[in-house]
Amino acid sequence: MDSHHFRNPPKEYREVPFWSWNDDLDPVELRRQVTIMDEAGWGGFFMHARVGLKTRYLGQRWMECIKACVNEARQRGMGAWLYDEDKWPSGFAGGLSVSKDPSYRMQYLVCKVDNRPALLPERIATFAAREVNGVLQDIHADPNPTIPTDEHRLIQFYPQTLYLGIPWFNDYCYLSLINPKAVRAFLETTHDAYAGVVGSDFGTTIPGIFTDEPAYTWRGGGRGAMPTAYIPWTRDFPTYFQAKRGYDLLPKLPAIFFDTDDYHAVRYDYWRTLTELFVESYMKQIYSWCEEHKIAATGHMMAEDTLLSQIEWIGAAMPHYPYFHIPGIDKLGRIINTGPGTILTVKQLDSAVCQLGKPRALCENYGCSGQDFAHTGRKWIGDWAYVLGITLNNPHLSLYTLRGERKRDYPQNIFYQQPWWPENNLIADYFARLSYVLSQGQRVVDILVVHPIGSAWSVYRPGSTRAVDQLDRPLNDLLTALMQNQRDFHLGDELLMDKGGACEAKVVKDG
């Protein structure tokens, strides 16, 4: 450790906030705010489109603002980090990528149980069953369904495409991130556009690009709300599944939704295969693009916090981390060490960072903590995250303007409008020193907790959380007990430790 760097940490170790671009943007005002961030002890900023934005996303004026901030950051030795979406979750490019082709819209497979054939535009499989005391029994294929008797039911599977007109997605919808062609369209729309405008600063003034909460589904409500019993899907998924697992999934579909046949094995195979496809389709493509353009891929996945949330949104968190240069998490609210997922979220990240040899671990911090959450709260939550492995603090959120509803955007607002802002250097220097010191060493642990996501896959039924809840609770209790007894640990993800996995040598041979 260099004592000079400890006293005066380089900007690469300083906090990098989400800078909310949320109005009609003015390059002169943006440059002024960059100056303010530099003077307050921050090392850079993420240029993040948020609710309230009036400047056209990725339009000419937007790019002029990006260039102005990059130029100002270059003069100050700061990092001007890109952010890959209009709001979040990443993938739809403000509607631009979705609009390229109808097949790029998110798709899902619905399981419909009824006492008569449904009028469906497309049906990929039909089964019949007897209903006894509310439980379906004797499930068997029925390719030519007729109206059954009173005690019989039909189980029909049909694909659906997410409807357009969702306000959050700028009246489009979410992209299918398990469709590699759709993800390629996202890269062409967003990443290639930035490369064409500020690519000469990639890897220097522009250290990286943030991807935020990508997921293989969208579980929104309102008009066209998602059905209870569905699974993520694409038209090519059965072919991909057959190649990966060696059997036809379609005759086995009921086992994903009902306790029939060899359902534990089928569910495990489905969710594992879906997770593998998601990793290959999204983060692997993002990572490859960033490697080619000499820029770091950073960000975090959607819903990393519990076994249940990971299954419902992303499959599993840890298999995605090899394809981040600087992987991260999201820490919301002002609660630690209570409830499911808090320790799990950070230790999944810390374990992967250590096992994969990643240089830093990022935490998007303080969202939903409230406007009264100043230095004391920031230090408390930040210390907790750093103890568990974080080395890059990403404060959420610094608002370009507080005008109108913008001031209510998942507070707190951590910026010059706050009365305590003149003292921001105090906490900025503190976290910069922590980040520097903790980035110089290596965590040493002698306990490996095998991650139970595979067990959760095997018991999860779409629309029913009970079986996975019964795994989440003892897992949280175990991790909490280990930390309370000062016994640090790693989580071992079975996909990463598998033969050929990213952590095979580091964990299996040494552990």
Tens-place pLDDT, residues 127-143: 999 988 888 999 999 88
Portion of the chain with pLDDT greater than 90, in percent: 86
For domain 3-106+162-509, which CATH number applies: 3.20.20.80, 2.60.40.10, 2.60.40.1120, 3.40.50.2000? 3.20.20.80
Q: In the prediction, which pLDDT does 263 show?
A: 98
**Looking at the predicted structure, is the pLDDT value of residue 189 above 60?**
yes
In this structure, how many other beta carbons lie within 10 angstroms of the beta carbon of residue 117? 16
Q: In the prediction, which pLDDT does 115 show?
A: 84
pTM of the model as a whole: 0.96
Q: What own/partner pairs with CB < 8 Å and gap ≥ 24 does 219-222 have?
A: 219/312, 219/313, 220/166, 220/168, 222/166
Q: In the prediction, which pLDDT does 302 show?
A: 98
Mean pLDDT of the 437-449 span: 93
Mean pLDDT of the 76-95 span: 99
Name the pairing type of β-strands 326-332 and 362-367. parallel
Residue whose C-alpha is closest to residue 258's, from 127, 161, 160, 158: 127
151 pLDDT band, cuts 50/70/90, is: confident
**Looking at the predicted structure, is the pLDDT value of residue 168 above 50?**
yes
**Looking at the predicted structure, is the pLDDT value of residue 360 above 60?**
yes
**Looking at the predicted structure, is the pLDDT value of residue 509 above 80?**
no
As beta bridge partners, residue 395 has 365
**Looking at the predicted structure, is the pLDDT value of residue 247 above 60?**
yes
Within the chain, which residue ranges are assigned CATH 3.20.20.80? 3-106+162-509
Helix 466-484 vs helix 342-356: crossing angle, to nearest 10: 70
Mean pLDDT of the 19-26 span: 99
User: Residue 374 and residue 385: Cα distance in Å, rounded?
Assistant: 17
Q: In the prediction, which pLDDT does 266 show?
A: 99
The two tokens of residue 337 are 């060490």
Q: Which has more pLDDT, 504 or 167?
A: 167
Q: In the prediction, which pLDDT does 121 show?
A: 80
Q: In the prediction, which pLDDT does 385 show?
A: 97
**Looking at the predicted structure, is the pLDDT value of residue 463 above 70?**
yes
Q: In the prediction, which pLDDT does 133 show?
A: 86
User: Residue 219 and residue 378: Cα distance in Å, rounded?
Assistant: 31
User: Residue 48 and residue 83: Cα distance in Å, rounded?
Assistant: 6
Exposure letters 193-214 (e unless 16+ CB within 10 A, then b): bbbebbbebbeebbbbbbbbbb
Mean pLDDT of the 299-317 span: 97
Strands ordered across the beta sheet of 326-332: 392-395, 362-367, 326-332, 296-300, 208-212, 79-86, 44-49, 18-21, 398-399
Q: In the prediction, which pLDDT does 511 show?
A: 43
Q: In the prediction, which pLDDT does 227 show?
A: 78
Q: Which has more pLDDT, 133 or 77?
A: 77
Portion of the chain with pLDDT greater than 70, in percent: 96
Model pLDDT for residues 291-302, shown as the tens digit of each residue: 999 999 999 999
- How many degrees, rounded to 5, is the angle at CA 479 between CA 474 and CA 484? 120
Residue whose C-alpha is closest to residue 322's, from 176, 510, 93, 500: 500
Side-chain-side CA neighbours of 413 within 13 Å: the count stands at 19
**Looking at the predicted structure, is the pLDDT value of residue 507 above 60?**
no
Q: In the prediction, which pLDDT does 401 show?
A: 98
**Looking at the predicted structure, is the pLDDT value of residue 316 above 80?**
yes
Alpha helices in 342-489 (DSSP H): 342-356, 375-387, 424-438, 453-459, 466-484
* Average pLDDT over all residues of the chain: 94
